[in-house]
């Protein structure tokens, strides 16, 4: 947990000690913003937006490319910080840095090519006749118009151009303290917006380090800033009409609350899930088991698209279960700063308490723990539950821990129905070589992304990413986020 706030001896500004979720050691100190600092950040964002919106495409793109190169050169530095303040194993922390570098480079490429479109205005004769006029201003009669007259009247050009909308408030989670911030910041820079980042309280230091890299790359100072503040001040920012948009990644409860208080501004929500995987009888069981374990334990299961519910056709259930248990037993659990670890701690003791209580509730309801279920400090061992019911917390809600449920099904169609019987709809996985079953699943399963012969954690950062139902709305993924962060001005030129 983060230490009690104390004022900085030199400046008098309150600071908070950011501590490792694994052993409680201090990672660094973070200034705590008050009302004055929040107001200053918003005003600075308004001011720098006027600069950002006027920057040529190549300037914005070059800044993003240089930032990518700076972070790539400091990969170990960033990865170590992520491992320290988020408790993420080094292998996954390095992977996050690589994804952030790609994200920045992709945003640079998109910045150079992102544009609007020409809209044809002469596609319907009746509307053309009604909306056009003769050279003297009188009504047009198509039956009396000759080719020369028609050729002149069609000389109207319709251009839909996209423009940046203004300062953006980016509220980020702890589980990807670099890349999920970049998911919001890079598209905003690419189109010419300014950003105020409100990072997760547990992981603000990585955001600070990202802003340092961006400013070193040439980003105007203050165009992106970090505000580490209490919840009440964060809510004040959400309500502030000087922000043109709030983009939030986190829990469904907090996300929908943000939408309810955000007022007229744009809102994009990337919320939780309880990721389901269906394993068909024709699947490659070894590969499916390996990917399910990876998808269920990566970063201690603290992944909105992590594997939580696994449903397997009865004909291969026992064989798959054996392979799954073999894979789960091979996971290395412990200090995230040690090389080769698969699973480190969850983010804090409160989260560990909750996960532990959900496992206990499932046991008391008749479920069996067939692997894991143990706890040491904030580390939960990778856990598999069998005999769970759809109304149990471990099935119904997002556990956000290294816990998976395993259930038999009679058919892929049954699996799709059960997977879809959820208030969440972020991503799903289906292992099968039956193309018809795969395409039918896409029709029936209301998720933002369906992975065939892979698990829900598969995500390349230029993909459109977002959820259905209570998993949110709006899309991330560079170009798709750029569209969310811009709006259209439409131009019609009559050049007859």
Among all residues, which ones are annotated catalytic?
270, 304
Q: Enter the tokens of residue 380.
A: 């939960």
- The residues pairing with 197 across neighbouring beta strands, listed in sequence order, are 170, 226
Of 33, 41, 27, 24, nearest to 5 by C-alpha is: 33
Q: Are the C-beta atoms of 456 and 306 separated by less than 8 Å?
A: yes
What is the separation of C-alpha 121 from the centre of its chain, rounded to a whole number of angstroms? Answer: 38
Residue 317 neighbours by CB distance under 10 Å: 17
Q: How many angstroms separate the CA atoms of 77 and 390, rounded?
A: 43
Q: How many angstroms separate the CA atoms of 155 and 367, rounded?
A: 71
Sequence-distant (6+) residues with CB within 8 A of 285 are 279, 316, 319, 320, 323
The structure tokens 């043109």 sit at 244
Q: What is the per-residue DSSP string for 366-394?
A: T-EEEE---EETTEE--EEEES--TTSHH
Quote the strand ranges of 263-416, DSSP E. Answer: 266-270, 276-279, 309-313, 368-371, 375-376, 379-380, 383-386, 403-409
């Amino acid at each position: 947990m983060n230490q009690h706030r104390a004022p900085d001896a030199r400046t008098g500004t309150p600071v908070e000690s950011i501590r490792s979720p694994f052993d409680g050691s201090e990672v660094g100190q973070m200034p705590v913003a008050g009302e004055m600092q929040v107001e200053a950040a918003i005003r600075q964002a308004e001011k720098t937006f006027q600069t950002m919106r006027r920057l040529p495409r190549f300037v914005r793109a070059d800044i993003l490319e240089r930032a990518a190169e700076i972070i790539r050169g400091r990969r170990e530095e960033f990865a170590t910080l992520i491992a320290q303040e988020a408790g993420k194993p080094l292998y996954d922390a390095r992977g996050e840095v690589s994804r952030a570098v790609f994200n920045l480079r992709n945003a640079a490429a998109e910045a150079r090519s992102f544009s609007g479109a020409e809209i044809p205005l002469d596609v319907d004769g009746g509307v053309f006749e009604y909306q056009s006029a003769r050279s003297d201003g009188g009504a047009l009669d198509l039956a009396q118009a000759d080719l020369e007259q028609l050729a002149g009247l069609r000389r109207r050009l319709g251009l839909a151009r996209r423009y940046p909308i203004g300062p953006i408030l980016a509220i980020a989670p702890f589980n990807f303290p670099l890349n999920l911030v970049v998911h919001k910041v890079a598209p905003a820079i690419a189109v010419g917006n300014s950003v105020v980042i409100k990072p997760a309280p547990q992981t603000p230091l990585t955001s600070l380090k990202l802003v340092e890299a961006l400013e070193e790359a040439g980003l105007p100072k203050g165009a992106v800033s970090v505000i580490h503040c209490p919840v009440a001040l964060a809510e004040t920012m959400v309500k502030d009409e000087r922000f043109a948009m709030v983009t939030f990644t986190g829990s469904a409860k907090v996300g929908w609350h943000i939408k309810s208080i955000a007022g007229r501004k744009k809102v994009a929500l990337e919320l939780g899930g309880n990721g389901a995987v269906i394993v068909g009888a024709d699947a490659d069981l070894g590969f499916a088991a390996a990917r399910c374990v990876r998808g269920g334990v990566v970063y201690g299961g603290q992944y909105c698209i992590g594997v939580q519910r696994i449903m397997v056709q009865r004909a291969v259930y026992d064989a798959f279960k054996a392979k799954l248990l073999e894979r789960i037993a091979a996971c290395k659990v412990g200090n995230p700063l040690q090389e080769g670890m698969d699973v480190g701690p969850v983010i804090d003791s409160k989260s560990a308490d909750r996960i532990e209580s959900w496992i206990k509730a499932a046991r008391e309801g008749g479920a069996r723990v067939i692997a894991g279920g143990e706890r040491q400090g904030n580390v939960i061992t990778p856990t598999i539950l069998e005999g769970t019911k759809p109304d149990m917390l471990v099935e119904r809600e997002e556990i956000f821990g290294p816990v998976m449920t395993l259930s038999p099904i009679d058919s892929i169609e049954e699996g799709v129905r059960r997977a879809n019987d959820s208030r969440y709809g972020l991503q799903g996985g289906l292992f099968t070589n039956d193309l018809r079953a795969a395409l039918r699943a896409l029709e029936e399963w209301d998720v933002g992304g369906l992975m065939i012969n892979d698990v829900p954690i598969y995500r390349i950062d230029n993909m459109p990413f977002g959820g259905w139902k209570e998993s949110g709305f709006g899309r991330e993924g560079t170009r798709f986020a750029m569209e969310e962060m811009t709006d259209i001005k439409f131009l019609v030129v009559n050049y007859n």
